[in-house]
A and B are shown apart, each in its own frame.
Chain A
Amino acid sequence: EPEVTQTPSHQVTQMGQEVILRCVPISNHLYFYWYRQILGQKVEFLVSFYNNEISEKSEIFDDQFSVERPDGSNFTLKIRSTKLEDSAMYFCASPRAEGTDTQYFGPGTRLTVL
């Protein structure tokens, strides 16, 4: 059973549209991470989020991306104006307990930009 859940499992959108990907932890995690995996490639770090603030972001995470914690239990990744190259699997991850280093991944959202 995954530590976190993600919705939707698959999102299809038109280029230029905004998408919001959601991540819900089973327990109340303060640390959250987003990763991206373009089909056939390795998993890449996007952003880490701690206690309602971005703690680190990669060069992939440009102004088109944003992360929020709209309420106490959800984390979101928003892409404002999707491009074809945003098509990928998007994973959120979290440690099982605060102060631990091992990240457990959600099942992922497959984003397809047409």
Chain B
Amino acid sequence: AQTVTQSQPEMSVQEAETVTLSCTYDTSENNYYLFWYKQPPSRQMILVIRQEAYKQQNATENRFSVNFQKAAKSFSLKISDSQLGDTAMYFCAFMSFGNEKLTFGTGTRLTIIP
């Protein structure tokens, strides 16, 4: 079974700074997808970014980018120019190719300080 580990329960950073959230996973699969979801206080789950394991290029979405290290099974999220609206829980998630279910990590609570 796949497992996803987020070793930082809480982080805080000053507004406009850059922050990196870590995620590691364990799998024997070669083809899979990785995701970061954001959960603000409203508790809505919002997709931030996705990465296909077969792509070497790191995914980027505006201020959000990932550092995907397949050999190390690491998938960190970098938030640049952090904004107050980035305050939320961030969950890393794994999905095997051909298997639809998402396996989530325990989350990192990120607080952006004005």
Contacts and interface: CB of A to CB of B under 8 A. Distances in A.
B11 interface: no
Contact of A31 (B97, B100, B104, B105): B100
Contact of B101 (A37, A45, A108, A110): A45
Interface residues of B, number: 23
Interface stretch (B17-25, B44-52, B64-72, B74-82): B44-52
A61 B97 CA distance: 23
A103 B106 contact: no
B91 A108 contact: no
B95 interface: yes
Interface in A15-38: 31, 33, 35, 37
Nearest to B6: A42
A35 B102 CA distance: 9
A42 B91 contact: yes
Contacts of B91: 42-43
A33 B37 CA distance: 16
B101 A33 contact: yes
Contacts of A56: 99-101
Given A43-B45, A108-B43, A102 B100 contact: no
A51 interface: no
Nearest to A89: B43
Nearest to A108: B43
Given A42-B104, A89-B43, A103-B102, 19 more contacts: A33-B101, A42-B107, A43-B45, A44-B104, A45-B101, A55-B100, A56-B100, A93-B45, A93-B102, A101-B33, A101-B95, A102-B50, A104-B47, A105-B44, A105-B45, A105-B47, A107-B42, A107-B43, A110-B43
Q: Which 9 A-B pairs have the closest CB atoms?
A: A105-B45, A45-B101, A43-B104, A42-B104, A42-B106, A48-B100, A107-B44, A101-B33, A102-B50
15 contacts: A33-B101, A33-B102, A41-B106, A42-B91, A42-B104, A45-B103, A48-B101, A50-B100, A93-B45, A101-B97, A102-B33, A102-B47, A102-B50, A103-B102, A104-B47
